[in-house]
Amino acid sequence: MENTIKKALKGDPRAIARLISLVESESTFAHEIMKAIYPHTGKAHLVGVTGAPGVGKSTLVDKIISRYKELGKSVGIIAVDPSSPFSGGAILGDRLRMQQHALDPSVFIRSMGTRGSLGGLSRAAYEAALILDACGKDIVIIETAGVGQTEIDIVRIADTVILLLVPGMGDDVQIMKAGIMEIADIFVVNKADREGADKIVAEVNLMLDIAGERSWRPPVLKAIAESGQGVDDIIRAVEEHRLYLQKSEEGKKRRSSRIRHEVEEILRRDIARIVEKEWEERSSNDLIEALASRRSDPYTEAGRLLEDILGAAENSREVEGA
Amino acid sequence: MENTIKKALKGDPRAIARLISLVESESTFAHEIMKAIYPHTGKAHLVGVTGAPGVGKSTLVDKIISRYKELGKSVGIIAVDPSSPFSGGAILGDRLRMQQHALDPSVFIRSMGTRGSLGGLSRAAYEAALILDACGKDIVIIETAGVGQTEIDIVRIADTVILLLVPGMGDDVQIMKAGIMEIADIFVVNKADREGADKIVAEVNLMLDIAGERSWRPPVLKAIAESGQGVDDIIRAVEEHRLYLQKSEEGKKRRSSRIRHEVEEILRRDIARIVEKEWEERSSNDLIEALASRRSDPYTEAGRLLEDILGAAENSREVEGA
């Protein structure tokens, strides 16, 4: 394991892939890996790219990768599809297309889908991003398949969040409602040669004006991902936002809130494991029978279990304090 | 509160609505309410209705309600839309249409949308179902807006799950892939006057044959929700499935697995609260600074915190045992 970590930290793609797999599958090595990795993190810039299906996220990410490569930057991509069974196919095709970069050692691409809990996915995506960060990627892009609540939770971990819109989808107003407005740092109206592009740009600008003054005013850019038009503007905006975060109070706040969130998530996962184990041991047929016949209720039983695990801690602390 | 609970248990719609709101918003009364409610649960039959957007779920549910009313049954409906911002509008319209039943005291309709975590939504839907059960509804219908993973998690709590399909949506095969096959107890091909209805019926039957023998073979019914055709067959199938669950090993297994799941969910929620509180108390600026500068890592800090919470419990238990 130590050897794999060493190799990965030097940028070896195979070793990196292995670390991500081990962490994603919650292997017994996961903890060791993340502890070893963590001191090397904090250098990469994490960019989240989100937007409704069909707005051209993958095409744009593709072009962004190419441009970063020309600029001599190494890039890692995590493509996440937490969504309903109905959107499983498309993203796979996109991934295949992105494999044009696969032979380039400076680009690392990784897809992730739902396995089990949704919270687990945003956690896995974040840990993969940390690994890519530690292993020397300058830019880590996290791309989601849609813009549901789960996707918002996932891109929230990024430093800079790009929201893609397109003219004529009729859902622009709904996006505004969904609380994604607050987390987007850069708006991009893609397929800007289509009718209605200027209208969306104006609408978003209006919404941002109404939202009131903020220390970072998200730019609203136009792009045509297919031809690469507008990509330079996007990269420039990302860089500006990065510098802004470095210098501003807002950037500092965002970093500490991310760290807080990290610890909380790890705690939640670890405690959940302990409780699950404890519950498995205790949930006898008798207990289930008592609940089924309504002689007890789940609220009382859950309370009892928790008290046994944590209440004792409370008591002993009181004793210590006495 | 006691008074509201008493009124609700007698079937008072306002009191029921209030209890559901309090539980949904995780008010401080939630625990008390659910404990008081629980002994009265276990009588209603919970029916989940799911299917892709546009298959006619609401129209069908509408017709099912009318039929149950004619049969002298009281009905509660929980309409859940956990989905992305893109499907917020339609279901509202459906709800408005369903309000034709709103003046009837034997029918209780409740809509629920995403607020915060997705796990929270399936929990809230289930607790609302328990409340409706305790308050005397014979049938509780849980209707979802789509068929994503979240929706599957939500309908999973039902006794009988109805999956709606329609001809010509091209997504039939995808549904089969999505693991919804395993949780559907009744298949309904709606809009059965459209071309391709028989083909879907045959396809689903074939899939069920391939899936192998099960003690309950889900029927594949045809319906035209608009005209009410097929609704009687559906209600008969629900009743058959109810009787099957009452008598079979499978039914017993399903009830205990639901109870296990209930306790686990309550535990998970309570743990999240405890962790949040503990972490808030302990997360000093110094600690965040140490993490931000990578002098420490979240894994070590979370481990330390856990040890404090649980290790103390371990110690005190050892002392007790000594």
Residues ≥6 apart with Cβ < 8 Å to B282? B305
Interface test with A, best of B271, B273, B281, B287 (most A CBs within 10 A): B271
Residue B242 lies in a domain: yes
Residue B29 lies in a domain: no
Measured between beta carbons, which residues in chain B are less than 8 angstroms from residue A262?
A: 291, 298
- CA atoms of B239 and B155, how far apart (whole Å): 18
A292 and A160 in a single domain? The answer is no
Q: Which range, A28-42, A110-124, B141-155, has the best average confidence (pLDDT)?
A: A28-42
A175 and A282 in a single domain? The answer is no
Q: A161 versus A261: which is more confidently predicted?
A: A161
A273 and A305 in a single domain? The answer is yes
- What local confidence, expressed as pLDDT, does residue A284 receive? 85
Q: Is the pLDDT of residue B43 over 90?
A: yes
Interface test with B, best of A23, A38, A149 (most B CBs within 10 A): A149
As a whole number, the mean pLDDT across chain A is: 82
Q: For residue range B134-145, what is the model confidence (pLDDT) as tens digits?
A: 999 999 999 987
- Residue-wise burial string across A164-192, b where 16 or more C-beta atoms lie within 10 A, e elsewhere: bbbbebebbebbbebebbeebbbbbbbbb
A191 and A313 in a single domain? The answer is no
A267 CA to chain B: closest CA distance, Å?
6
How far apart are the two ends of chain B, measured CA to CA in Å?
Answer: 44
Q: Is the pLDDT of residue B175 over 60?
A: no
The verdict on a CB contact (< 8 Å) between A266 and B299 is yes
Longest dimension (CA), chain B: 75
Residue B18 lies in a domain: no
A72 and A209 in a single domain? The answer is yes
CB burial of residue B249 (10 Å; 0-12, 13-18, 19+): exposed
Rg (CA), chain B: 23
- What local confidence, expressed as pLDDT, does residue B285 receive? 85
CB burial of residue B138 (10 Å; 0-12, 13-18, 19+): middle
- CA atoms of B107 and B118, how far apart (whole Å): 27
Number of domains in chain A: 2
The verdict on a CB contact (< 8 Å) between B42 and A294 is yes
Q: B312 versus B278: which is more confidently predicted?
A: B278
Residue B11 lies in a domain: no
Measured between beta carbons, which residues in chain B are less than 8 angstroms from residue A149?
A: 82, 84, 114, 118
A52 and A168 in a single domain? The answer is yes
The verdict on a CB contact (< 8 Å) between B259 and A292 is yes
A120 and A266 in a single domain? The answer is no
- What local confidence, expressed as pLDDT, does residue B97 receive? 52
Residue B192 lies in a domain: yes
- Count CB atoms within 10 A of the CB of residue B195: 8
**Domain residue limits at B296:** 262-321
B73 and B180 in a single domain? The answer is yes
Q: Is the pLDDT of residue B319 over 60?
A: no
The verdict on a CB contact (< 8 Å) between B317 and A319 is no
CATH number at residue B55: 3.40.50.300
- CA atoms of B136 and B140, how far apart (whole Å): 10
Residue A31 lies in a domain: no
Least confident of A14-23, A313-322, B203-212, B275-284: A313-322
Average pLDDT over residues A188-199: 93
A105 and A158 in a single domain? The answer is yes
- CA atoms of A269 and A265, how far apart (whole Å): 6
Least confident of A37-46, A87-96, B119-128: A87-96
Least confident of A181-190, A216-225, A302-311: A302-311
Residue A115 lies in a domain: yes
Relative orientation angle of helices A13-24 and A2-9, to the nearest 10 degrees: 120
A306 and A238 in a single domain? The answer is no
B141 in Cβ contact with B47 (< 8 Å):
yes
Least confident of A47-56, A86-95, B27-36, B181-190: A86-95
User: How distant is the alpha carbon of residue B234 from its chain centre?
Assistant: 20
Q: Which range, A157-161, A317-321, B212-216, B240-244, has the best average confidence (pLDDT)?
A: B240-244
Cβ-Cβ contacts under 8 Å between A and B: the total is: 199
**Which residue type sits at A216?**
W
This prediction has a pTM of: 0.69
User: Which of A213, A247, A281 is the endpoint of a domain?
Assistant: A247
Q: State the pLDDT confidence band at B281, using cuts at 50, 70 and 90.
A: confident
- What local confidence, expressed as pLDDT, does residue B284 receive? 85
User: Which of A247, A281, A299 is the endpoint of a domain?
Assistant: A247
Q: B191 versus B149: which is more confidently predicted?
A: B191
Q: Is the pLDDT of residue B322 over 60?
A: no
- What local confidence, expressed as pLDDT, does residue A101 receive? 65
Average pLDDT over residues B212-236: 93
Q: For residue range B3-28, what is the model confidence (pLDDT) as tens digits?
A: 999 999 999 988 999 999 888 887 88
The verdict on a CB contact (< 8 Å) between A174 and B275 is no
Q: Is the pLDDT of residue B256 over 60?
A: yes
- CA atoms of A129 and A43, how far apart (whole Å): 11
Average pLDDT over residues B293-316: 78
Cα→Cα distances B192→A119, B62, B206, B221, Å: 39, 17, 18, 9
A273 and A224 in a single domain? The answer is no
Average pLDDT over residues A239-243: 97
- What local confidence, expressed as pLDDT, does residue A76 receive? 93
Q: A312 versus A285: which is more confidently predicted?
A: A285
User: Which of A247, A279, A306 is the endpoint of a domain?
Assistant: A247
User: How distant is the alpha carbon of residue B292 from its chain centre?
Assistant: 40
Q: What is the ipTM of this complex?
A: 0.77
Least confident of A70-74, A142-146, A170-174, B61-65: A170-174
- What local confidence, expressed as pLDDT, does residue B179 receive? 63
Q: Is the pLDDT of residue A220 over 90?
A: yes
Residue A254 lies in a domain: no
Measured between beta carbons, which residues in chain A are less than 8 angstroms from residue B288?
A: 256, 259-260
Q: Phi then psi for A83, rounded to 5 degrees?
A: -90, -175
Q: Is the pLDDT of residue B202 over 60?
A: yes
A142 and A214 in a single domain? The answer is yes
Q: State the pLDDT confidence band at A123, using cuts at 50, 70 and 90.
A: confident
Q: For residue range B88-122, what is the model confidence (pLDDT) as tens digits?
A: 233 444 455 555 666 677 788 887 776 544 456 77
Q: Which of B283, B318, B265, B276 is nearest to A312 (CA)?
A: B318
